[in-house]
């Protein structure tokens, strides 16, 4: 199964239009025109057919995750008390007489 086949099947399964796919790719800062995108959905014997590369499929899948789940929440900075703690070994905590 080629990358073009995967892209086609996801497009049909998720009922996505070309505009939707362009917007999903923009979520990961990947720009593509609708005409370039249309070349991936053509038959292999068509003169304007283009193979979908790994980079385009990878960016589409990453954008699809953001599209369906939403963006990741930003991580808060760790508290000072947590970063300032020093690890103490068990042997250091026992008193020796």
88 or 6, greater pLDDT: 6
Half-sphere exposure of 12 (CA within 13 A, CB side): 6
Examine residue 42 and state whether it is found in any structural domain, yes or no: yes
Examine residue 17 and state whether it is found in any structural domain, yes or no: yes
Examine residue 58 and state whether it is found in any structural domain, yes or no: yes
- How many folded domains does the chain comprise? 1
Q: Hey, how many other C-beta atoms are within 10 angstroms of the C-beta on 11?
A: 18
Indicate left, alpha or beta for 54 from its phi (over 0: left) and psi (-120 to 50: alpha). Answer: alpha
DSSP-based three-state secondary structure for 16? coil
Provide the pLDDT for residue 94.
58
CA-based R_g, the chain, Å: 24
For residue range 14-61, what is the model confidence (pLDDT) as tens digits? Answer: 999 999 999 999 999 999 999 999 999 999 999 999 999 999 999 999
Q: Which residue segment(s) compose the domain that 16 sits in?
A: 3-69
Rounded Cα distance, 21 and 32, in Å? 9
8 or 70, greater pLDDT: 8
Provide the pLDDT for residue 88.
57
Examine residue 82 and state whether it is found in any structural domain, yes or no: no
User: Which residue's structure tokens are 């026992």?
Assistant: 94
Among the residues of 14-53, which ranges form H helices? 18-26, 34-40
């Amino acid at each position: 199964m080629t990358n073009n086949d995967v892209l086609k099947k996801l497009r049909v399964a998720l009922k996505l239009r070309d505009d939707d796919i362009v917007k999903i790719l923009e979520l990961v800062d990947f720009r593509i025109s609708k005409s370039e995108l249309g070349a991936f959905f053509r038959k292999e014997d068509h003169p304007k057919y283009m193979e979908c590369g790994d980079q385009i499929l990878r960016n589409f899948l990453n954008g699809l995750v953001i599209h369906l789940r939403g963006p990741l929440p930003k991580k808060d900075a760790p508290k000072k008390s947590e970063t300032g703690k020093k690890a103490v070994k068990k042997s250091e905590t026992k008193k020796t007489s």
